[in-house]
Amino acid sequence: MLVNTQFGYTEQDFEAIASLIYSRVGIAFRKNKRNLVYNRLVGRLRAHRLVNFTQYLKLLDDQNHEEWEYFVNALTTNLTYFFREPYHFDFLKNYVQEHLEHLTTSEPLRIWCSACSTGEEAYSIAMTMVEAFGTNQPPVKILATDLNTHVLAVAREGNYTTDQLERVSEQQKLQHFIYHKYKNTYEIRPEIKSLIHFKCLNLMDTQWPMKKSFNMIFCRNVMIYFNRETQSRLLTKFAHYLPQGSLLFLGHSESFSEPQDKFKPLRQTMYTRV
């Protein structure tokens, strides 16, 4: 069945694309996403001067073709903003202050932001840590990963517009950002950037390269794109990196789709490793 005539987009093309993105990154596209897929990929057909999606799919037959990077980047969603779901950051600040004596005398607090997008979540975590510890050099190491190479480049730059800082207070702007008047942008200060290591990582990879465990993992507003089987597999892998008593943060609309013996609810979309 022909779905769109301008670039020869068929039902079979959509199903093939959905299968490819699922096998690569675990995202499950239902049939109601056909137009979304078309709109996100049509620019790639223009870039290659192709006339239909069948031709485009042939490029992806080669698993190492450079187009795979553009394909994944185009089909991944990257909606984010500073201090999204603020109750998580309020909890984080209170948690650190309640355990301050222990946290400042032990190993650095290790936090993984597992789908960091353009960096706002990772920087929100870092700013919260600076404020909680009361120093620009808190004993914290933050790993921020994403599979989208484009958004990672934006995150590393750490430059944001005034609109993007809508949820950041004036005090936080002064403390954590450098204002570039000629660009009308705000850049994350170097001491904040130094707390974060940005890295490209696909959560669907069979093995992850991290050798050490984490005190906290943020995986917010990611599970909603996965089916139950993928969700369960991902939670099991997270559990491997979280020792007893460590914390897992999910998004506001996410919950475990089946009973879990590795985590127990702590507060709203916050869980502790058992």
Q: So which residues are the catalytic ones?
A: 40, 146
Q: Which tens digits make up the pLDDT trace of 95-141?
A: 998 887 777 667 899 999 999 999 999 999 999 999 999 999 999 99
Using 50, 70 and 90 to split pLDDT, how confident is the model at 267? confident
Using 50, 70 and 90 to split pLDDT, how confident is the model at 26? confident
**What span, in angstroms and rounded, lies between the C-alpha atoms of 177 and 257?**
39
**What span, in angstroms and rounded, lies between the C-alpha atoms of 52 and 10?**
9
Parallel/antiparallel/unpaired status of strands 263-267 and 9-10:
unpaired
Alpha carbon 235 to its chain centroid, in Å, reads 15
Give the number of other Cβ atoms within 10 Å of residue 180's Cβ.
Answer: 11
Q: Which tens digits make up the pLDDT trace of 143-156?
A: 999 999 999 999 99
Examine the pLDDT at 73 and tell me if it is beyond 90.
no
**What span, in angstroms and rounded, lies between the C-alpha atoms of 54 and 107?**
53
**What are the start-end ranges of the H helices in the chain?**
11-25, 34-48, 53-59, 67-75, 86-98, 100-103, 120-133, 149-157, 170-176, 190-193, 228-240
Looking at every residue in the chain, the average pLDDT score rounds to 91
Domains of the chain with bracketed CATH: 2-75 (1.10.155.10), 86-273 (3.40.50.150)
